[in-house]
Amino acid sequence: MTSLNIAKFSLPRWVLALLGAAIGLAAIRAALQPDSRAFAEKTRVETVSAAPQSSFLYRFDPNTLGFFTRTLTTGSLPIDVAVTGTAPVRVWVTLAGTNKIGRLVYTSTSQTAWNEYAITSTANSRPFQLALRGNEVWFTEQGANRVGRLNALTGQIDEFFGNGLSSNSGLAGIDLAPDGSVWLAGQSSNRLIRLVVTSTLNYSFQEYVPGNVNGPFGIAVESNSRIHFTAPVSDRVGFLTPSTGAVVLAPGIPSGYYPSDIVWDPSNAATWFSEPPGNHIGLFFVGTLGIPAQFGPITRPVGLSRVSSNTLWVTQQDSLGQLAKLVYTPPSGVAVTSYPLPTVGLHPTGVARVNDGSVWLAAYAPERIYLSQLMKSSTP
């Protein structure tokens, strides 16, 4: 999911399973690390529960352990987050519930500016995942079966569809390759998809079968010649070589772990991926092609943002709703510290780290009607 890596969120045949579990209405007891339990109890006293359909953007300062809160329009359903810059920071977020892309320009806690860009081509766009390149904000539209591109300078939105793209693709993950192409995961069409754009009128999609798996969801571009992906419903992680169409799948991921978000880690030549129902984070070393390492427990990990070779920020959709920092000590050591959000019971989704060390994430209060609409728009 880029700074996004995210987002680089948790939707679809596996939505009914993953969101029924990871974003369902049943509360799950948080499994807090010992060093974060005291902080969690303090926060539990000082916070309040959100009203249904509430949506938020948060900035977390690791130095002060404080949160800055931006309340979004009711029903926004923010899914993915991407960031650029430091002074000010520009925070981009997909608003699936209101069919918009949001942008927050953050200079300080007292100086912010908010803009929304409506996607008006269809009544049910459902923007989902984000990727940034220069002044281009790329996003998948799960409800419209389109790929959008927002010009950050002018606000113009161009959309790409047809021209080789399967109908009802269930577009989920998105990432950008060095050669300028856009890579996508088609959950419903069971395809990995490459979009090449020459102009708004001259573009094409090319689709690849990702081996014997169903429902590809997350995408992470290593290079022009290797594209990594997750397939939650099949409990698989793998990579595609576009020039040959060859797919390599990692063996041995436990059944029911549902690998979802994925980020590429060049320092370790590996991919990290979240496993919400499995309560673990996976690490697949591409060069060895061995069974991925499993780190945890970490309750309901969803969105990932890589900081360095050994540090990840992770959103947790547990009973509290938390942001976690995972520090990896090779070959098998992991320390996880969790920080509950200021409002109890939210479902945090995308997460992105800024170069100044701060972390941005989106979250919403679960509401069955909005989830069912999103499921319906993306289920084959």
The DSSP annotation for 2-19 comes to ---TT------HHIIIII
Q: What are phi and psi of 361, to 5 degrees?
A: -150, 155
- Write the DSSP symbol of residue 254: P
Q: What is the pLDDT of residue 42?
A: 27
Residue ranges of the chain with per-residue pLDDT less than 70: 1-49, 367-380
What pLDDT does residue 308 have?
Answer: 78
Q: Does residue 297 have a cis peptide bond before it, meaning omega lies within 30 degrees of 0? A: yes
First to last CA, the chain: 23
Contact 145, 168 (CB under 8 A): yes
Report the candidate in 237, 244, 243 with the shortest Cα–Cα distance to residue 263.
Answer: 237
* pLDDT value of residue 14: 38
Given this model, what pLDDT does residue 332 score?
Answer: 87
Residue type at position 269: A
Alpha helices in the chain (DSSP H): 13-14, 20-21, 34-46, 368-378
Per DSSP, the three-state class of 76 is: coil
User: In the chain, what are the domain boundaries?
Assistant: 13-378
Query: CA-CA distance, 86 to 88, in Å (whole number)?
Result: 5
Q: For domain 13-378, give the CATH number.
A: 2.130.10.10
Of 108, 82, 291, whose CA–CA distance to 173 is shortest?
A: 82
